[in-house]
Amino acid sequence: MTTRASIAAKLDDFAFQKVNFGGFLMNKRAKNSHALWTRASEKGVTELTILASRDFGEGNVYDVAAFTLDGNVPEHLLSELRTEADRLADRINLREHGYVYTCLEPWDGGGSIWISKKPEFRALSRPDEGVYVIPIQRLSGLGEPRWLAWARDAGQLNIAIVYKP
């Protein structure tokens, strides 16, 4: 059975990160993610809660997901977040906001990734309550994203979706 703890333990192994985060730029993403993961004192794996989805056909599926670092999104927020995410996905083009999160990188773009210039979905987050919201572009053929790795480095929350646990 796949658990948060079993995935977190696997992330210590570069080969596992290479399978999940490698592929482009001669595995530079996997190397950078592995280095960040191994040096971070605060890190873990959590489950995503899908708030809204849009299927644009031909494998182009986009989700709005919420997560907390220590478990499930509180029930009292779920219906509100789902309603807000659904409205926002209908009002603005989710396809222009989705991001793949295929290596550990700042959850909000850190000011240097294009996702930082599109904050509408992340603005649904409640960081004071430990709840984060992200727009996701699914990787084709890998199904609904379920697991998210996170590591805090120099105060910055970094995340990556683990599609192959």
Q: Chunked in runs of 10, what are the mean pLDDT values of the chain (165 residues)? A: 91 90 72 94 96 89 95 92 95 85 87 80 94 90 88 94 91
10 touches 37 (CB < 8 A): no
Residue whose entry in the numeric block shows the structure tokens 């773009």: 109
Rounded to 10°, the helix 14-21/28-39 angle is 130
pLDDT computed for residue 68 by the predictor = 97
Task: Say how far apart CA 51 and CA 72 lie, in whole Å.
Answer: 13
Task: Give the DSSP letter of residue 26.
Answer: G
SS3 content of the chain, % helix, strand, coil (to 5): 35, 30, 35
Report the pLDDT value the prediction gives residue 36, as an integer from 0 to 100. 95
Count: domains in the chain: 1
The DSSP element (H or E) to which 43 belongs, if any, is: strand 42-47
Range of the domain at 104: 4-162
H helix or E strand, kind and range, residue 145? none
